[in-house]
């Protein structure tokens, strides 16, 4: 049985975590966990973990539109999703600081 789960977690400083995954039985088959900031009247993605393109990876998203794609090589998508969710919970302020510095230097 396929089960999909999606939700948004509000964070301080105009941030939120957008979370989604698809599970078959106890196995994650795809996911996306993304940190976003509301700035200049729109939501900007800052960092994203997902399984797009057929592999698990982290995208570091820059204000100028560049995206650094970093492959993740954990045992399975269950572990990778747990890692992604924990990383954003623990480091969201660092990701936000980096992004806001880029915004400041861009203006």
Question: Could you give phi then psi for residue 68, rounded to 5 degrees?
Answer: -95, 120
Which residues touch 23 (CB under 8 Å, ≥6 apart)?
Answer: 2, 3, 4, 5, 29
pLDDT (tens place) for every residue of the chain, 107 residues total = 999 999 999 999 999 999 999 999 999 999 999 999 999 999 999 999 999 988 999 999 999 999 999 999 999 999 999 999 999 999 999 999 999 999 999 87
Domain-wise residue ranges, the chain: 2-106
53 conformational bin, left if phi > 0, alpha if psi -120 to 50, beta if neither:
left
pLDDT tens digits for 49-66?
999 988 999 999 999 999
What distance in Å separates the CA atoms of residue 55 and residue 42, rounded to the nearest whole number?
29
């Amino acid at each position: 049985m396929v089960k999909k789960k999606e939700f948004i977690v509000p964070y301080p400083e105009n941030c939120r975590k957008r979370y989604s995954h698809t599970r078959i039985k106890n196995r994650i088959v795809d996911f996306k966990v993304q940190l976003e900031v509301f700035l200049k009247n729109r939501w900007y993605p800052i960092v994203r973990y997902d399984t797009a393109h057929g592999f698990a990876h982290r995208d570091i998203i820059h204000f100028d539109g560049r995206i650094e794609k970093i492959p993740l090589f954990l045992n399975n998508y269950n572990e990778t999703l747990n890692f992604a969710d924990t990383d954003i919970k623990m480091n969201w302020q660092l990701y936000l600081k980096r992004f806001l510095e880029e915004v400041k230097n861009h203006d």
